[in-house]
Every structure is written in C-alpha cells, then in structure tokens.
Amino acid sequence: MKTVTRSELRWLLRQSKTSKVRSMRDFAEQEIIIPDGPYQGRRFDCNRQPYTRLWFEAIDTGSWDRFVATGPTQSGKTLSCFLIPLLYHLFEVGETVICGLPDMDMASDKWREDLLPVIERSKYRDLMPTKGGGSRGGKTEAIQFLNGARRV
C-alpha cells in the first residue's frame, strides 16, 4: 500500500469508531450531581435509594420499551425516573428528547426548577445553547444543545 493510502485508511478507522455508550446507571453515578436536598452537591449513588439500581438495570436490559414509576413523596422519583433518563438520552446517547407536559407554564417550571439545576452542575453545562431558545432563560418550546440533541 502507498503511504498516503495507509494513512487515509488509519484515519478512516479512527473516525469510524463510535464511543461506547454507558449504562444508564453508570451515567447517573458518574455524571449526575444532586442539586438540592440532604445530599446536595454529592454524586448520585444508587445505594441511597436501592430501588434506583433495580430501575436502571431494568431499563438497561432493553426488554421493555415503556417504563412507569410510582412511589411515595420525596423518594427521588423526579431525579431517577424523569431527569436521569431524559439527560441520558440527551447527552450520553445524543438524541432528541420530547418531554410532554400538560401546558407550557408547567414545562417552563420543570425546565427552570428541575432540569436546568442538574445540567448546570454537570459537565454538560458547556453544551447549553449560547444563543436562541434556552440561552437566556424565559419560555421556550425547544432547546438545541451544542451536541446537536434537542429538548422539545
């Protein structure tokens, strides 16, 4: 093989490799910093709420395509059953996520009170848009992150 062809082949092989997608549990425990409450500022840990280990393992099996969670108040359902799966697909998988809520006021509240604080404490804060929807707060129907994924 010619030198140019060999180097082009090496380049092609390097570019064709996709990054390994972690399990949702690994993503949660390695990336999510708890924004408030008694464990504020600490990394998410399935040992604090043991159901979360079972929850993430069930999701990661790929055996189901629908998941429903119910539980008592203050058990971490919003973080483990809503925010982490949403953020996992946005940032680990890099796909667009559609988040349906009854009205735009509630969507704005969910963004401001739940999603944004978790994103701001993660390494993904650098993927927040610098212009357009979601860049300066306020109401928005869709946010385009710098990795190309969208929250609609």
Residues in CB range of 95: below 8 A, 6 or more apart: 89, 149
pLDDT tens, residue by residue, 122-140: 999 998 877 766 555 656 6
**pLDDT tens-place string over residues 12-69:** 777 777 778 999 999 999 999 999 889 999 999 999 999 999 999 999 999 998 999 9
Domain extents in the chain: 21-151
| 60, 23 contact by CB (below 8 A) | yes
